[in-house]
Every structure is written in structure tokens, then in C-alpha cells.
Amino acid sequence: MAKFMDVHDGFVGVTAQELDAAHCEDLRFEATEGVHFEKAWLDPEAGKVFCLSTGPSKEAVLRVHEKAGHPTAEIYELTVEV
Amino acid sequence: MAKFMDVHDGFVGVTAQELDAAHCEDLRFEATEGVHFEKAWLDPEAGKVFCLSTGPSKEAVLRVHEKAGHPTAEIYELTVEV
């Protein structure tokens, strides 16, 4: 299993409730791809969302986000952490 | 205390040992600004580093990274998390 950070733009003004709803959509589809979304953080002023996940590949993470309705091309494989 | 994610570019090919050394420099200076760096993740292929921290302001986080020798303009305040 690898670890990933993905970054979403355009979430300006999104509320906690809306982020929670988007995250729930990820959780609904993640098992079909062997992915687990551990955490999501939002800066509603900049419109940035960061999602931390584990899974088999970047493509699997992308497919979950696509099924959940919020795809992003910015997915990074985190091979080192401190 | 607020929570922040900052993003660094240009860390292509950086090793675990080098990331650890950079993180140690942050830890050396963070107390002077009331900041604490909780975690850093690296994608050495894309050259991206993500740092999760707590502190009083974006400017304080920036000052620690400046003192540590790796400033970045990309600092996001994470007011929502799930």
C-alpha cells in the first residue's frame, strides 16, 4: 500500500458540512478501488483541499474521486515522511 | 492556534535523510515563532513537500521556514478538517 496526497482547487467558501458531504462520497466509493481516505483539510479562503489516502496507485485514488464527483489531476505519492 | 499546510516545490530526488535534515532545521527554529511542525511528506519524483503545522499565523510559519533556509509562498490555513 502506498500513501498519497491529492490537492483540489476551487473550493472557495465551502463549509465544514459541505466538505464532510464530499468526503462521505469518497468513503462511499473507496472500497471498490482498495483506497482509504484518512483525512481531508480545507482552506475555504484559498479554495484548497488536501486529502491524505492510502491505496494501490494514483490511478485508483483518481478513480475514487471521479466516482465521487470531484476529480483532480494533482495526486502525489508520498514515499517519505518525517 | 491555527493549523496550516504548506507546499514546497523543487525537492526532486531528495532522500529520506535529506528531508529529515530539513525538518530538523524547522524544529530548531519553530519555538521562536510559537509554531510546531507536526509532519512532513515528500514525493521525490514530483519534488513536492507538504508540511502540516500549528501556529499563530501564516507569517509565523513562513518565518520559521525562512530561518530554516527553505521558504515557500504556498501556505494554507486549514480551518476545516474531516
In sequence order, what DSSP letters do the residues of A60-82 get, joined into one string?
HHHHHHHHTT---S-EEE--EE-
Q: Do A3 and B41 touch (CB under 8 A)?
A: yes
C-alpha cell at A56: 494501490
Q: Do B44 and A14 touch (CB under 8 A)?
A: no
Q: What is the ipTM of this complex?
A: 0.94
- Strand order in A48-55's β-sheet? A75-77, A2-8, A48-55, A36-43, B80-81
Q: Per-residue confidence at A3, pLDDT binned at 50, 70, 90? A: very high
- List the single residue in A with minimal CA-CA distance to B21: A82
- List the single residue in B with minimal CA-CA distance to A19: B82
Q: Which residue of B3, B12, B37, B41 is the best one to mutate when testing the A interface, meaning the one whose CB has the most A CBs within 10 A?
A: B41
pLDDT tens-digit series, residues A4-14: 999 999 999 99
Smallest CA–CA separation between B42 and chain A, in Å? 5
Q: Per-residue confidence at A20, pLDDT binned at 50, 70, 90? A: very high
CA B28 to chain centre: 13
* Contacts of B59 by beta carbon, 8 Å cutoff, 6+ apart: none
In B23-42, which positions are buried (b, 16+ CB within 10 angstroms) versus exposed (e)? beebeebbeebebebeebbb
pLDDT tens-digit series, residues A29-70: 999 999 999 999 999 999 999 999 999 999 999 999 999 999
Q: Whole-structure pTM over 0.90, yes or no?
A: yes
Report the residue from A20, A48, A81 with minimal CB separation from B41.
A81
Q: Do B41 and A77 touch (CB under 8 A)?
A: no
Other C-beta atoms closer than 10 Å to the C-beta of B63 total: 18
Phi, psi of B63 (to 5 degrees): -60, -40
pLDDT score at A2: 98
